[in-house]
Amino acid sequence: MSDLAALENETLAAIGAASDEAALESVRVGALGKKGAISALLATLGKLPPDERKAHGAAINALKDQVTEALAARRGILKKAALEAQLKREMVDVTLPVRLPAVETGRIHPLSQAMDEIITIFADMGFSVAEGPDIESDDYNFTKLNFPPGHPARDMHDTFFLEPDAHGERKVLRTHTSPVQVRTMLSQKPPIRIICPGRTYRTDFDQTHTPMFHQVEGLVVDESATLANLKWVLEEFCKAFFEVPRVGMRFRPSFFPFTSPSMEVDIQCRRSGGEIRFGEGDDWLEILGCGMVHPNVLTNCGIDPEVYQGFAWGMGADRVAMLKYGLPDLRDFFDADLRWINHYGFKPLEVPTLAGGLSG
């Protein structure tokens, strides 16, 4: 086989084997480029005797034309294949359901919903929101709230203690939101009207207790706050929160070191067939503790109990959310199970308002 025939076979085979346009281009450069095999042959023509030059030149040019044609044909095939692959890759099935934006598919946790509802109701009554840290001093969590060191009431709180710091001070994870009362009274002058929603911690774990849970504290201090005002505020809150025209409430005498007198509050409900109704029935469920702020607490926080008096309450936020939304197990709140949140969660744009209805 002549050299020319071998080059022809070899080049055409390479063209046939090129699997994409880049590979094809390198075959073209190898044959027809400046330093390509066919170009090199053409360059040798000048050195041939004139009688051979013509025949040889014609043969090389024929090969060149043949290769050029084969390249064009192969390029056409590869382009078509590439286009088909792209079309297939980018195919849109217009019959598929539309993918909803996050704002439609995301869900607000029932506890966040309940917290927003609670804040909305108290804001409407003129309360502002106060906050404090989760890691609290023993002084604010206990001592200033009239739990002297060694007082047995401290044992009622299953406290998480932190390691003592360099000064030997042992901080705690706050066991209630009441230390925010202390912080507020130390930093503001009466009249005071605040609520403090927030995380609280106790070493407890069962169907209705988790080591981290939530409370909403309330505090009013002025010259004339009374127990009657406290009862009105709580009753109005319960009617608004549970979205019923009337609620049965029971104020039971109780004990907290930071209030005197102290009470625990139950609300009336009826539970039947997995449903719960408020304002009727024979069941009573405890939702909060409350009372008149103890004069010692006012004194500890720099407020003169001869001039000022106050009332306060602390409500279990998780508990009222469980009650209102029929959630049987508190532990589910913190399991981050998407099936649960999709079932019990709220639509993000349905923000609770008093005018528009709290829970949509």
- If you ran DSSP here, which 8-state letter would residue 348 be given? T
As beta bridge partners, residue 357 has 353
| Residue from 110, 257, 314, 352 binding ligand DAH (CB under 6 A) | 314
Select from 197, 289, 310, 352 the one that contacts ligand DAH (CB under 6 A).
289
Which of 312, 321, 322, 341 binds ligand DAH (CB under 6 A)? It is 312
Instruction: Select the residue interacting with ligand DAH from 141, 178, 210, 268 (CB under 6 A).
Output: 178
Nearer to ligand DAH, 216 or 341 (CB): 216
Which residue in the shown chain puts its C-beta closest to ligand DAH? 314
Q: 110-124 and 227-242 are packed helices; what angle lies between their axes, rounded to 10 degrees?
A: 130
Taking the least distance from each CB to ligand DAH, the nearer of 194 and 290 is 290
**Which residue in 336, 316, 323, 337 sits closest to 204, CA to CA?**
316
From the list 76-84, 87-95, 165-173, 283-291, the region that binds ligand DAH by CB under 6 A is 283-291
Compare residues 171 and 202 and give the one whose CB is closer to ligand DAH. Answer: 202
Beta strands in the chain (DSSP E): 128-129, 135-136, 172-173, 192-201, 212-222, 249-256, 259-272, 275-278, 283-293, 309-316
Q: How far is the CB of 314 from ligand DAH (least distance, A)?
A: 2
How are beta strands 135-136 and 128-129 bridged, if at all? unpaired
Q: Which is nearer to ligand DAH, 11 or 178 (CB)?
A: 178
DSSP assignment letter at 161: B
The nearer residue to ligand DAH, 168 or 253, going by C-beta atoms, is 253
Rg of the Cα trace of the chain? 41
Instruction: Note whether 127 binds ligand DAH by CB under 6 A.
Output: no
Q: How far is the CB of 292 from ligand DAH (least distance, A)?
A: 8
Q: Which stretch in 22-30, 83-91, 275-283, 306-314 sits in contact with ligand DAH by CB under 6 A?
A: 306-314
Cα 360 from Cα 349, distance rounded (Å):
10
Judged by CB under 6 A, which of 144, 171, 174, 176 binds ligand DAH? Answer: 176
Q: Which of 201, 237, 241, 256 binds ligand DAH (CB under 6 A)?
A: 256
CA 126/CA 172 separation, integer angstroms:
31
Pick the stretch among 88-96, 129-137, 163-171, 286-294 that binds ligand DAH (CB under 6 A): 286-294
Q: DSSP letter string over 243-280?
A: T-S---EEEEEEEETTEEEEEEEEEEEEEETTEEEESS
Lookup: tokens for 343? 């079932």
Q: How far is CA 110 from CA 57, 90, 294, 319, in A?
A: 87, 40, 34, 11
Binding site for ligand DAH (CB under 6 A): 176, 178, 217, 256, 259, 289-291, 312-314
